[in-house]
Amino acid sequence: MAFFDSILSAVGNTPLVKLNKVVPAGAATVLVKCEYMNPTGSIKDRMAVHVLNESEKKGLIKPGMLIVENTSGNTGQGVAMWAAVRGYKCVFTMPDKMSLEKVNMLKAFGAEVVITPTDVPGDSPQHYVETAKRIAREQNGFYVNQYHNPLNIDAHELSTGPEIWRQTEGKMDVYVAGAGTGGTVSGAARFFKKNKHPVKVVGVDPIGSVHYHYFYTKTMPTPHVYKVEGVGEDILCDAMDYSVVDEFRQVNDKESFLMARRLVREEGLFCGGSSGSNVHIAVQIAKEIGPGKTVVTVLPDSATRYTTKFLSDQWMKDYGFLGSDYDLGVVEDIMKARPTQQVITCNETDTVGSVVEIMRKAGVSQVPVLDAKKRPAKMVHELDVLRGLQSGAVTNTSPVHNVAQPIGGLIYPKARVEELFRIFETDQVAIVVDAEKIVGVIGKIDVIDYMGRRGK
């Protein structure tokens, strides 16, 4: 007889499926790994079972111990499944943007769920991560710590990566995965890189999350709320290994949800919103690299969690994702609509005086500062220079990095124009970055001119 000793042994070995309708003719092949077919309906089963098995073996989890974790719902279900089989009790903390389905599923396993505010800083005592730490500390529980646990990455290096490589017989060119804790994208990527497999790794980050900005600048942006669940983050995670990722791309809520709905209705794949994020970018890349190539991505969780959210027409309309005929387009449309402009930048080693001369000749009040690899690193503003000279902290011969500030307002060319409005709330200009290079700078007047011309 063929059977598993418990449901825990049924985790992994999910099917790889070709997309047929959402990928246009003339594009590369796109294959999706159906992780929503894991026992509790998400890729997080892999990490949960691996982390808890290893921790129990090491004696970190002892009989009668409470298991505590912060979760967007998916990790919690994997942990709750393991705990049910092994006989442990669980407490989970979740931000209030998560669907009611996710909360009820955790409670169905007998777990306690503590709901916390979404729109609080990552270091706030009310943040769901800090709340989980406090509960584990006060009740002497085991804190799973998916965000910083190296076993998170190991789970995908040992299972997800090898499975994909075996299923494709090594005939793949690009691996695309969303970044939340970072385990899925960087774990599989480590497998590809360590085994010298020639696979380009592209991380997917929702606009409002920190990964895209940090990857290119090594500075923390101010995160903002987005609707798609189970991807992106507002804090940095040790389970995210940026060194094995080749590129990051941004995606917005509307793109994610519309693609997820297409996957359900056109491909018969009953997957969640973050699956839409991954496939949106995978199709984008497939169109760029063309036929004869293969792009692989993952469908992280099931749509059963979102029947009252993006699968609902009314919910989509309430949040402006359906029913609007006025489409502003994407950032690169603005760049194409205006005359070609030279991107004005300076280097970290340039002097203050030389940068002031660049500003004067170009008629600009701020200049992006590039590092030794020509990647955006900082931004120098007129006011920064003025304050430095006034205080005596710098002179005209000082390196400009002495007065430069962390760069903000980074955006991907394919991002929706609407995302620029949020950037302009805190930054004077938006810096358009593609493949680690600055390809454009957009100011408010550029957007005003673009929208005015469209309205003619």
* 44 a catalytic residue: yes
Cα–Cα dist 424/405, whole Å: 17
Cα dihedral across residues 302, 307, 313, 314: positive or negative: negative
DSSP type of residue 66: E
Nearest Cα to Cα of residue 55 among 140, 160, 134, 144: 144
Cα–Cα dist 169/75, whole Å: 30
Contact 399, 348 (CB under 8 A): yes
Query: What does R_g of the chain's alpha carbons equal in angstroms?
Result: 23
Residue 38's φ and ψ, nearest 5 degrees, are: -70, 165
210 three-class SS: coil
Cα dihedral across residues 249, 255, 256, 261: positive or negative: negative
Q: Which token pair is 245?
A: 């990722």
- SS3 per residue for 343-395: CCCEECCCEHHHHHHHHHHHCCCEEEEECCCCCEEEEEEHHHHHHHHHHCCCC
Torsional class of 435: left (φ above 0), alpha (ψ -120 to 50), beta (otherwise): left
Exactly one of 18, 33, 44, 309 is catalytic; name it.
44
17 three-class SS: strand
Cα dihedral 192/245/251/168 (nearest 10) = -10
Contact 261, 209 (CB under 8 A): no
Residues catalogued as catalytic: 44
